[in-house]
């Protein structure tokens, strides 16, 4: 081993939303933090969600009132802390004969409106659908309510940036392969999965935030049984050319009691999902099944005038949600809440079970609070008032005007995309440039060398997929030749050390 004896207070294992959130919270309280992720940030479940920050309207049916209330509070809070990547979105609920009773829906929406304070979201209401509606002619009535859409992978990256800004070290492509307890805490062996170099880290406490792998990691590293069973539930989505004009999303009710969202996505597409089915395969190989594809298409075609065909699908993705095992319940009814289990022997380790994107900040705050007994001098919680990197502006339109006034030569497409991904970090990307010639090679669509260099140097991007599917969604636009050109550039410019 060429490296050894790197000393930290806290090691966070897992670079999804919970791990990144905990790393940021802990670093901001004064702890020396290192985060290890065996792949890329948000490379698993945290980039495969429904892209929503929401209370979870359907969870009211399961009497999860406390969880919904807390999630709605987080929705309000996060939409102010990261308005560049989190935006309010109207959802229409069309009514068919098999739909839930209208009085039941109205009562649920009333609770949803008033269960938590809100300033950024409008009241729900009854609505009618006319002849110009994208829905089938038989659908005339429904409801509208509001939630928020998020770029889930960028939410993870921004938390990692925030953690690094407070002194944390972020190690991607770095896998924890073994650990042993010492008098001072833990000595953990890690392997750089690119260079295959192994070395040791020393820390006083560990957080296991590995999502679907949490139980396996807890058992393999600590040599003790996991405190909770994990139920793995796969959710899949498809992306098709947009099937309706307008900025609203739709919540479609199926006769099996589940719901499917149809959401506007990147101006040109519709995002459709999600499914819910038990998963027992390899976590490194999660893909949509034909049955899931058929399920989503059949529901959409039941409601919309414009039919969706399988050949219309331009992309699909699947993620496995690690839910706390409740064996007697159907997968769609298992709680999306979280549990934090802490062990003190042989040395402190906290394991994160469950959770969802909307509640990540609250989960992180609770997790770090639990660690206070081991770090009595750490600071107080702070993330409820700290804007995420790039979110330090008040009015998006004013930021757009500011970017246009100085860098108008970028064009509205680039500026608009940057505004919705980077916010004020856009100025860091373009600093020192005066024309498109200064942006370097154009790899395709609106992606220039300058942005690629920024992502590789400051956001831990290591290959084309990191940039095209997680730092952006430009993988939907670049062709195969353009993707190969990008991959070759990264390999040549940023070789593995």
Nearest of 29, 32, 44 to residue 7 by alpha carbon = 32
Q: Is position 60 within any domain? A: no
Distance of CA 477 to the CA centre of its chain: 21
Q: Is position 75 within any domain? A: no
What is the C-alpha to C-alpha distance for residues 417 and 420, in angstroms, rounded to an integer?
5
Asked if 89 and 149 touch (Cβ cutoff 8 Å), the reply is: yes
Residue 265, pLDDT score: 97
- Same domain (yes/no): 346, 314: no
- Same domain (yes/no): 145, 235: yes
Q: Is position 355 within any domain? A: yes
Taken in order 402, 407, 413, 415, is the CA torsion positive or negative?
A: negative
What is the C-alpha to C-alpha distance for residues 122 and 406, in angstroms, rounded to an integer?
34
User: Model pTM?
Assistant: 0.95
Asked if 63 and 197 touch (Cβ cutoff 8 Å), the reply is: no
Looking at 303, 324, 345, the residue that finishes a domain is 324
Residue 2, pLDDT score: 39
Q: Which residue has the tokens 């942005």?
A: 451
Q: Give the other-Cβ count within 10 Å of 167's Cβ.
A: 12
| Span 115-144, average pLDDT | 94
| Span 136-157, average pLDDT | 97
- Same domain (yes/no): 381, 401: no
Residue 116, pLDDT score: 82
- Same domain (yes/no): 136, 241: yes
Asked whether residue 329 carries a pLDDT value surpassing 60, the answer given is no
What is the C-alpha to C-alpha distance for residues 404 and 409, in angstroms, rounded to an integer?
8
Asked whether residue 334 carries a pLDDT value surpassing 70, the answer given is no
- Same domain (yes/no): 258, 136: yes
Residue 6, pLDDT score: 86
Residue 327, pLDDT score: 55
| Span 14-37, average pLDDT | 98
What is the C-alpha to C-alpha distance for residues 190 and 176, in angstroms, rounded to an integer?
4
- Same domain (yes/no): 422, 281: no
Nearest of 388, 343, 397 to residue 370 by alpha carbon = 343
What is the C-alpha to C-alpha distance for residues 481 and 456, in angstroms, rounded to an integer?
20
Residue 110 is part of a domain; what is its CATH number? 3.30.9.10
Torsion of CA 385, 83, 392, 455, to 10 degrees: 110
| Span 104-127, average pLDDT | 92
Domain of 286, in residue numbers? 83-151+231-324
Q: Is position 318 within any domain? A: yes
- Same domain (yes/no): 276, 198: no
Nearest of 462, 428, 441 to residue 172 by alpha carbon = 462
DSSP type of residue 348: -
Asked whether residue 3 carries a pLDDT value surpassing 50, the answer given is no
- Same domain (yes/no): 426, 345: no
- Same domain (yes/no): 320, 187: no
Q: Is position 439 within any domain? A: yes
Residue 400 is part of a domain; what is its CATH number? 1.10.8.870
Residue 158 is part of a domain; what is its CATH number? 3.50.50.60
Asked whether residue 168 carries a pLDDT value surpassing 90, the answer given is yes
Largest CA distance in the chain: 73
Q: Is position 69 within any domain? A: no
Looking at 301, 324, 347, the residue that finishes a domain is 324
What is the C-alpha to C-alpha distance for residues 47 and 154, in angstroms, rounded to an integer?
8
Name the pLDDT band for 1 (thresholds 50, 70, 90): very low
- Same domain (yes/no): 316, 254: yes
Q: Is position 372 within any domain? A: yes
pLDDT tens-digit profile of 367-414? 999 999 999 999 999 999 999 999 999 999 999 999 999 999 999 999
Q: Which of 5-14, 86-95, 362-371, 434-443 has the lowest mean pLDDT?
A: 5-14
Burial of 146 (0-12, 13-18, 19+ CB in 10 A): buried
Asked whether residue 336 carries a pLDDT value surpassing 80, the answer given is no
Q: Is position 61 within any domain? A: no
- Same domain (yes/no): 279, 137: yes
Are β-strands 33-36 and 169-171 bridged in parallel, bridged antiparallel, or unpaired? parallel
Taken in order 33, 37, 40, 46, is the CA torsion positive or negative?
A: negative
- Same domain (yes/no): 124, 266: yes
What is the C-alpha to C-alpha distance for residues 328 and 216, in angstroms, rounded to an integer?
22
DSSP type of residue 325: P
Which uninterrupted H or E stretch holds 53? strand 52-53
Asked whether residue 4 carries a pLDDT value surpassing 50, the answer given is no
Helix ranges (H only) for 245-315 are 290-303
What is the C-alpha to C-alpha distance for residues 406 and 426, in angstroms, rounded to an integer?
12
Nearest of 384, 361, 366, 358 to residue 67 by alpha carbon = 358
pLDDT tens-digit profile of 201-241? 999 999 999 999 998 888 876 666 666 678 899 999 999 99
pLDDT tens-digit profile of 255-306? 888 999 999 999 999 999 999 999 988 998 999 999 999 999 999 999 999 9
How many independent structural domains does the chain possess? Answer: 3
């Amino acid at each position: 081993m060429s490296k050894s004896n790197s000393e930290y207070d806290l090691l966070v294992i897992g670079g999804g939303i919970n791990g990144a959130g905990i790393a940021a919270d802990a670093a901001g309280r004064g702890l020396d933090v290192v985060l290890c992720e065996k792949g890329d940030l948000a490379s698993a479940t945290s980039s495969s969600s429904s892209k929503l920050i929401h209370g979870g309207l359907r969870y009211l049916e399961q009497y999860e009132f406390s969880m919904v209330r807390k999630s709605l509070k987080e929705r309000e809070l996060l939409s102010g802390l990261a308005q560049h990547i989190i935006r309010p979105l109207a959802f229409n609920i069309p009514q068919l004969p098999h739909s839930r009773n209208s009085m039941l829906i109205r009562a649920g929406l009333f609770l949803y409106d008033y269960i938590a304070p809100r300033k950024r979201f409008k009241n729900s209401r009854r609505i009618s659908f006319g002849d110009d509606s994208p829905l089938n002619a038989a659908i005339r009535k429904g409801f509208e309510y509001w939630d928020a859409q998020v770029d889930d992978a960028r939410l993870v990256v921004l938390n990692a940036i925030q953690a690094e800004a407070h002194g944390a070290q972020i190690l991607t492509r770095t896998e924890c392969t073994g650990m042993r307890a010492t008098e001072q805490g833990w000595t953990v062996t890690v392997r750089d999965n690119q260079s295959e170099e192994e070395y040791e880290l020393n820390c006083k406490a560990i957080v296991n935030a590995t999502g679907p792998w949490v139980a396996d990691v807890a058992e393999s590293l600590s040599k003790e049984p996991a405190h909770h069973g994990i139920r793995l539930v796969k959710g899949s989505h498809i992306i098709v050319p947009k099937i309706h004009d307008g900025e609203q999303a739709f919540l479609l009710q199926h006769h099996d009691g589940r719901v499917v969202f149809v959401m506007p996505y990147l101006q040109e597409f519709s995002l459709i999902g999600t499914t819910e089915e038990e998963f027992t395969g390899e976590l490194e190989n999660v893909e949509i099944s034909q049955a899931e594809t058929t399920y989503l298409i059949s529901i959409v075609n039941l409601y919309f005038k414009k039919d969706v065909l399988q050949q219309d699908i331009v992309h699909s993705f699947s993620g496995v949600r690690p839910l706390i095992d409740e064996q007697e319940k159907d997968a769609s009814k298992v709680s999306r809440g979280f549990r934090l289990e802490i062990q003190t022997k042989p040395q402190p380790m906290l394991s994160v079970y469950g959770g969802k994107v909307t509640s990540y900040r609250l989960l992180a705050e609770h997790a770090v609070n639990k660690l206070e007994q081991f770090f009595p001098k750490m600071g107080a919680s702070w993330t409820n008032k700290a804007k995420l990197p790039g979110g330090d502006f008040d009015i998006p339109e004013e930021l757009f005007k500011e970017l246009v006034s100085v860098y108008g030569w970028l064009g509205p497409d680039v500026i608009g995309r940057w505004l919705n991904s980077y916010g004020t970090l856009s100025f860091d990307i373009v600093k020192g440039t005066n024309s498109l010639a200064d942006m370097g090679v154009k790899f395709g669509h609106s992606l220039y060398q300058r942005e690629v260099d920024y992502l590789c140097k400051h956001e831990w991007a290591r290959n084309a997929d990191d940039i095209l599917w997680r730092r952006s969604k430009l993988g939907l636009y670049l062709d195969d030749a353009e993707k190969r050109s990008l991959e070759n550039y990264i390999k040549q410019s940023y070789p593995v050390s």
